[in-house]
Amino acid sequence: MIDMNPDLDVSSHFIPEQQLIVSVIATAMRDACIKPYTPFGEKRLQMTFDCMTAHDFLWTEALESYLHYLDIEAAYFRKSLLNTMANDSEKTIGQFSSENRRAFRVNKRLWDAQQSGGLVKPLADPEADEWKSVDPAIDQKLRRSAIVAGTDSNAGTSYVTVSQDSEGV
């Protein structure tokens, strides 16, 4: 079982690069436990920005990339994290108090409600048609930049030919 203690003594287990990765994951775990708040004049709970980005990190491919360098399976890590946070006893588990774990559970439900299918969808490939839906004016911007580049306003400007060989000569 993974020790969910964010203050791990990793100095003897990991090389410095891995220690940095563990610190990033531990920070995300702590931030995922930030208590949600109710905005003034509203009745619904909301996550803080840090909490939302922490959950984005923990439940998407970003975490998988980090865990890869620690030789930890993402599914195993997430299951252990959920099991730890599901414990509603009063005892402290690692550095997570019962209040931390409760905030995590509430935030996870809020985060899940914001996602279609439970996980953040990856951004579209910039070459794909879906990418244009991100910025509807992209075609107009491309046409405008092509027109500006093709105008005669650059008369009198000297152009330099750039070699395409591997040495840049």
Structural domain contains residue 10: no
Instruction: Please state the pTM of the whole predicted model.
Output: 0.62
Q: Is the pLDDT of residue 5 over 70?
A: no
pLDDT in tens, 55-113: 999 998 889 999 998 999 999 999 999 999 999 889 999 889 999 999 999 999 999 88
User: What does pLDDT average to over the chain?
Assistant: 74
Q: Is the pLDDT of residue 162 over 50?
A: no
Structural domain contains residue 39: yes
Structural domain contains residue 165: no
Rounded CA-CA distance 23/8 in Å is: 9
pLDDT computed for residue 116 by the predictor: 59
Structural domain contains residue 29: yes
Domain total for the chain? 1
Burial class (CB in 10 A: 0-12, 13-18, 19+), 11: exposed
pLDDT computed for residue 1 by the predictor: 38
Confidence of residue 117 (pLDDT cuts 50, 70, 90): very low
Helix (H) or strand (E) holding 102: helix 98-114
Q: Is residue 102 within 8 Å of 33, Cβ to Cβ? A: no
Structural domain contains residue 27: yes
User: Which structural domain range is residue 88 located in?
Assistant: 16-114
